[in-house]
Structure 1
Amino acid sequence: MSTGDLHKPLLDSLSTAIILVDGELRLRHMNPAAEALLAVSCERTLGEPLTQFFFESSETPGQLKSAAEQANHYTKRHAEWQLLTGGQITVDYTVTPFGEASGLVIEIQPIDRLLRISREEMLTSSQETTRNLVRGMAHEIKNPLGGIRGAAQLLARELPGSDLQEYTGVIIDEADRLRNLVDRMLGPNQLPQRQWLNIHEVLERVATIIKAESSGSVTLTRDYDPSIPDLNADKEQLIQALLNIARNAMQALLESGTEAPDIRLVTRIQRRYTIGRHHHPLVCRIDIVDNGPGIPQDILKNIFYPMISGRADGTGLGLTISQHLIHQHQGLIECDSEPGQTRFSLYLPMEAQHAEV
C-alpha cells in the first residue's frame, strides 16, 4: 500500500477539498469535499488528467508539472476556475509535493462566499455613508430653499403688476422642484408597515403596470415557485422597489430597440443564505432579468448610488430608493449585467417560523 493510500481515510475526513495527483497530473485521489466542490466523482475519474476537471489558464498545467519535478510548493490567491462540468468558482489553493512518485497535494479553499460577504458589507457600509451625506446635504439645501421661497412669495405680494409676478412664480416653482428632488434622494422615511402577503401578488401588480406603460410591447415571462410561503413585509414598499427595477429594464429595452424585448420575473427559495454577516435559514430570491443591451461596466459597480444613471434623462434615484427599501426589510439587491442579459436579484429573509417549510 502506498503512502497516499495510507492517508486517504484521513483526507476523506477533512472538510477542506484535497486532490492528489501524480507527476503526470493524473488523479490519484479526491476527497468528498473536493468531489462536492468540483461536482465530479473520484471513482469514475480516477487516473484522468487534472485538466479534465477545471480550467484556470493555459499556464496552469505547466506550473503544476514544474512543482512536481522540482518538488516546489506554491499558493495562488483568488484563482478563477472554470469547471468543465459547468459554472465558475473562485478559490485559494496550495500545491505541495507529496510521496515518492513526484505527486502533488492540491489543497483548495473556495472563497466565493467570503468575497460575496465582503462585497455586501462594503456595499451596505458605502450606501449608509452616502445616505448620511445626503441627509446632511438635504438639511443644508432645504433650509435656504425655504427662505428663498418665502421671500419670493412676499415679493410677489408687493409687486405692482402681474408681469413681474411671473418671475417670482418661476422662483417659487424651482424652489419646490429642488425640494422635491431632495425628498426623493432621501427616499421614504417611514418604517415598513408589515403584513402577510404573497410575493407573487406583488409581482403581478408590477407586471400589470409595466404592461400598461409599455403598451404591451415588452413580453413579461413568469417563472414562479408557487411553494414560497407568505412574507411579512410592506406591500407598497416592495411594489415600489420592484417597480423601479422593472421600469428601468423596460426603458432600457424600448430605448435600445432590442428585438423581442423580454422581462423575466423569477422567484426561488434559498436555504441557509448569508446577507452581510447575518445568516438566514430561509430567503426569498426575486430575479428581474431583461435581454437588453446591459449596463455599462464603468457604472455597474456604482449603480445603486444616488445620481448614477446610464440613461441621458435618468435621475439615478430609482435604484437607490429600491436598495433602501429592501434594506429596511433586512434584504439586499445585487446586479449582474452583460450585453444581452441584465439580472437584478433581490434577497428577502423569510420569518423564522418558515425555516422548516
Structure 2
Amino acid sequence: MRKSASPPAPDAAAADAAYAAFDHLATLVAVVSPEGRCIFANASFEDVLGLSRRSVQRGALFDWFVDAGTLKETVAAVARNEFSTSRMETLLRRPGPGGGDALPVHAIVTQMDGTPHVLLELVEIEQQTRQDREERALEQAKANKELIRNLAHEIKNPLGGIRGAAQLLEMEVESRALTEYTQVIINEADRLQALVDRLLAPHRKPHVVSDVNIHEVCERVRSLIMAEFPKGLKVARDYDVSIPDFRGDREQLIQAVLNIAHNAAQALQPSIAAGDALITLRTRIARQVTLGKQRYRLALELHIQDNGPGVPESIREHIFYPLVSGRDGGSGLGLTLAQTFVQQHQGTIECESEPGRTLFKILIPLP
C-alpha cells in the first residue's frame, strides 16, 4: 500500500509576504504552529536573537526559551480554542557563549483568524522599563528647562545692577585696597553672568542643521581630549563605518559628546597618573528602536565608556539634573547640556555605571 505524501513545507517567501506588516512593530512577534514550529519571525525578533529569520524558522520556537513548558501548553490551548488569548512572563534565551544570556519578556499568545497558527508577541520587560525611564527623563528635562530659564532671568537682572554699582563705586574710591575689592565684585559678577549665559544657551541657540558624520564628531572630541590629557590616557576607537550621515547640529553633538568624555577623563585622574586610563568611543547601528514613544527602524548607538571608579551611587539617579556634580569644583551643567542637545535630535542618553566601568549610551534616530 502506498503511503501518502507528507504535507509540503509552507512557502517561506509567501509567509514573509503575508506577515510583512509585523516587521513594522517594535515588539517581538512570531507566528507559531500548535506544535511550536516558527512560521514567521519579525525583524525585531531577528534583531534581539542576533539571527536571521531563516535560522529562527529552522527549529522549534520553544527551543529559544529557558523553560518552555508553560508556553507550550499555552500555545496548544489557544490553538485548540480553549481561550482566545493568554499572558505570562518567561525567559527568552539568546545565542552566546555558554548558552547565551536570558532576556525577561512578557509573552502574549493570541488566536489568529482563518488559520490554526497562533500569534506570539514578546515585550521586553527591560524595554518597558526603559520607555518609562525615558518618559520620566523627558518630563524632568522640561521641568529643568523651565526652572533654569526662570532662575537665570531672576539672577541676570540684579547681577547687572551689582556689577554696575561696583563700577560706579570703583570710580569714586581712591584707595588701591578698596579698588581690589570692587574688582573682586566685578569679576565674580562676570563669572556668574557667564554661568547664566551657559544655562540659557541651549534654549535660545538656533540649530545649524547640516549633514553630520558621527565619526567626524568622535574624532574631533578625541583630538580635544588627547590635547588636554596627552599622557596616561588612551582614547580607543571602535567604529562601524557603515553608519550613514544624518541631519543635525554638528557643534551641539560635539559639545554633548565632549562633555561626557571630559567628565570621564576628569574621573580617570588617578588612572591617568598610573598610566592605565582608557576611554572607548564605540559606534553601532541599533534596529527597531523606540524613542519617546516613536519607533524608528534604525538608530545611531554611540557608547562613551571608561574604566574609572564609576558614578557615585548617591547621585547616579540624578546625574542629568542641573547643578549635580560628583566632582569638587564641577558646575554640574555638562551632562544637563549634553542631554538637552541630544534630546533636540530626538535622541536619549542612558548611563550604566559600576566600579571599573561607566558607559554612557547615546541613541539618535537615523534616516
TM-score range, shorter chain: 0.7 to 0.9
* Residue 54 of structure 1, aligned match among 31, 51, 66: 66
Count of residue pairs the alignment pairs up: 313
The reply on whether 1:332 has 2:344 as its aligned counterpart is no
Give the equivalent residue in structure 1 for 2:233.
218
Give the equivalent residue in structure 1 for 2:297.
281
Q: 2: distance between equivalents of 1:110 and 1:347?
A: 20
Give the equivalent residue in structure 2 for 1:5.
none
Q: Structure 2: any 5+ residue segments left out of the alignment?
A: 1-9, 23-28, 72-85, 110-119
| Deviation per residue, 1:199-248 (Å, 9 max, x gap) | 21121111111111111321121111112222222222221111111111
Alignment of 1:169-188 (within 5 A): 169-188=183-202
Q: Partner letter of residue 106 of structure 2?
A: D
Q: Partner letter of residue 54 of structure 1?
A: V
TM-score by length of 2: 0.71
Cα 1:81–1:187 shift into 2, 3 Å: farther
The reply on whether 1:166 has 2:180 as its aligned counterpart is yes
Give the equivalent residue in structure 1 for 2:162.
148
Cα 1:313–1:88 shift into 2, 3 Å: farther
* Residue 250 of structure 2, aligned match among 231, 235, 243: 235
Alignment of 1:48-197 (within 5 A): 53-54=65-66, 85=96, 86-92=100-106, 109-111=122-124, 112-188=126-202, 189-197=204-212
Q: Is residue 206–residue 243 contact of structure 1 (8 Å, CA) maintained in 2?
A: yes
Cα 1:76–1:254 shift into 2, 3 Å: farther
The reply on whether 1:200 has 2:215 as its aligned counterpart is yes
Cα 1:322–1:272 shift into 2, 3 Å: same
Q: 2: distance between equivalents of 1:187 and 1:255?
A: 33
SS in 2 for 1:301: helix
Please report how far the alpha carbon of residue 296 of structure 1 lies from its aligned counterpart in structure 2 after TM superposition: 2.2
Q: Is residue 291–residue 342 contact of structure 1 (8 Å, CA) maintained in 2?
A: yes
Give the equivalent residue in structure 1 for 2:83.
none
Q: 1: distance between equivalents of 2:249 and 2:121?
A: 43
Please report how far the alpha carbon of residue 312 of structure 1 lies from its aligned counterpart in structure 2 after TM superposition: 2.4
The reply on whether 1:272 has 2:288 as its aligned counterpart is yes
Which stretch has the larger CA shift, 269-278 or 302-311? 269-278
TM-score by length of 1: 0.73
Give the equivalent residue in structure 2 for 1:103.
none
Which stretch has the larger CA shift, 236-245 or 272-281? 272-281
Q: Structure 1: any 5+ residue segments left out of the alignment?
A: 1-8, 21-27, 56-60, 65-73, 96-106
Q: 1: distance between equivalents of 2:222 and 2:307?
A: 16
Q: Partner letter of residue 223 of structure 2?
A: T
Q: Partner letter of residue 233 of structure 2?
A: V
Cα 1:75–1:232 shift into 2, 3 Å: closer
Q: Is residue 325–residue 332 contact of structure 2 (8 Å, CA) maintained in 1?
A: yes
